[in-house]
Amino acid sequence: MTDLTDLSLAQMRDGLRAKSFSARELAAAHVSAVEGARALNAFLVETPEHAMKAAEAADAALARGEAKPLAGIPLGIKDLFCTEGVPTTAASKILEGFVPPYESTVSARLFGDGAGMLGKLNMDQFAMGSSNETSAFGNVLSPWRGQGNAALVPGGSSGGSSSAVAARLCAGATGTDTGGSIRQPAAFTGIAGIKPTYGRCSRWGIVAFASSLDQAGPMARDVRDCAILLKSMAGFDPKDSTSLDVPVPDYEAALTGSLRGKRVGIPKEYRLDGMPPEIEALWRRGIDWAKDAGAEVVDVSLPHTKYALPTYYIVAPAEASSNLARYDGVRYGLRAGPEKGSLIDMYEATRAAGFGPEVKRRIMIGTYVLSAGYYDAYYLKAQKVRALIARDFEDAWASCDLLLTPTAPSAAFAFGAKSDDPIAMYLNDVFTVPSSLAGLPAMSVPAGLDKDGLPLGLQIIGRALDEEGVLNAGYAIERAANFAAKPERWW
């Protein structure tokens, strides 16, 4: 029999219903895989008891014929999601030891549909990073290896999620995407991941980075698995003022693989100077695959694309500086400073000790652009440019239904290759940030390998609330690409 951890989430679900194996056997196989892969540092907290308890409940429900959609499916939860009774740190020392007394809406929905939690996944601190080198609890390693067996980054900020799914440690995982933090790590590790429309999934109970951008989404082995997970994760939540009160479709049922009657746009501004030829070649193959699936391919223009990164790196840090002001050493988390010092001394010592260098950099940028003398010059102007970027997409929808682009400008790189140059690191998000600023659904699917045998992804962007169209286009690309590569076990 195929190793249970090699099955896709859909195969696990169907196998459980066919009584090919029990939920307890499935959970035990994944618990063992997690324990055997600690060298990856993908999990910050392991919760085998949660997974086994959910498995026992799933077996009982399956025996009664009352199984819920995710009964017995073992998942990993990014450490940005608050989990009741289980430590949640956002991979930062300032929240070390914090145990939430409540459950995030997204994780509660997954568990309510029968899923079990294998543990909390490592990530870039407060979701700030593109390589998982900013976690206060050590780097996550990609299960893929580079030339000369070099250790590679798994992407970020959802690097623990991407590493765990690619290494077959969990059936799927939650991620969050502010400027590309689901899609870029998915591309780096050869898995699928979708950022839904802003407001499609509740942000309640997710540690905030940039509130007008943050959005939860699933990361899994393939497009079908993402569709299954998104159905459970999405939905209106009155506790989140930005949650959209719209019906949640059956995303899995929308996967036909046919793009007949669809127009797929190719934005000319995404052809960057110095883009590796293999990324360009993969993009061209993706265009051919879209045509083969029945789509009409058209050229489109998104003229303000070149302003997207600078706009993002004003808006996101500004919101972060506001959101992270709550970590002051008074109510929860770390407290540092002299016993007889002033309140200001405690604030300064706590934040100096608790926040890492990248978080401090973004807080300082954000505070600067919000300050009295610079608010109009930077933050207000960035908001106006953001509106123009969103309008570019609206104009594009007049001539197309979906957009096809590369996900990232390169394959995964070695640790330290870009960590000394923040601008080089930020450029990892050049293809993912524009759709985040516009709040649009976008997903990455694994589509090929580079010259070193490392995964490359293609990105599909859709209209607001058209996750069905995005997932179906991803499914068509996935079937044509027939991506079957997986990392060789070394851990």
Catalytic residues: 78, 157, 181
Residue with tokens 């969103």: 390
Residue 236 and residue 243 in contact, taking contact as beta carbons nearer than 8 Å: yes
Q: Is 343 exposed, middle or buried (0-12, 13-18, 19+ CB in 10 A)?
A: exposed
**β pairing state of 296-300 and 74-78:** unpaired
Q: In this structure, what token pair is assigned to residue 405? A: 């682009």
Q: Is 373 exposed, middle or buried (0-12, 13-18, 19+ CB in 10 A)?
A: exposed
The secondary structure of 302-316 as a DSSP string is: -TTGGGHHHHHHHHH
Q: How far is CA 161 from CA 96, 120, 140, 217, 486, in A?
A: 20, 9, 10, 11, 16
Residue 105 and residue 239 in contact, taking contact as beta carbons nearer than 8 Å: yes
Q: In this structure, what token pair is assigned to residue 367? A: 């505070």
Q: In this structure, what token pair is assigned to residue 357? A: 């260098």
Q: Is 449 exposed, middle or buried (0-12, 13-18, 19+ CB in 10 A)?
A: middle
The secondary structure of 1-21 as a DSSP string is: ---GGGS-HHHHHHHHHTTSS
Q: In this structure, what token pair is assigned to residue 230? A: 């998104």
Long-range contacts of 33-40 (CB under 8 A, 24+ apart): 33/5, 33/167, 33/168, 33/169, 34/118, 34/119, 34/164, 34/169, 34/170, 36/491, 37/164, 37/167, 37/169, 37/491, 39/141, 39/491, 40/140, 40/141, 40/143, 40/163, 40/164, 40/167, 40/169, 40/491
Cis preceding linkage at 157, omega within 30: yes
Grouping H, G, I as helix, E, B as strand and the rest as coil, residue 460 is strand
Residue 202 and residue 106 in contact, taking contact as beta carbons nearer than 8 Å: yes
Torsion angles phi and psi, residue 83, rounded to 5? -125, 120
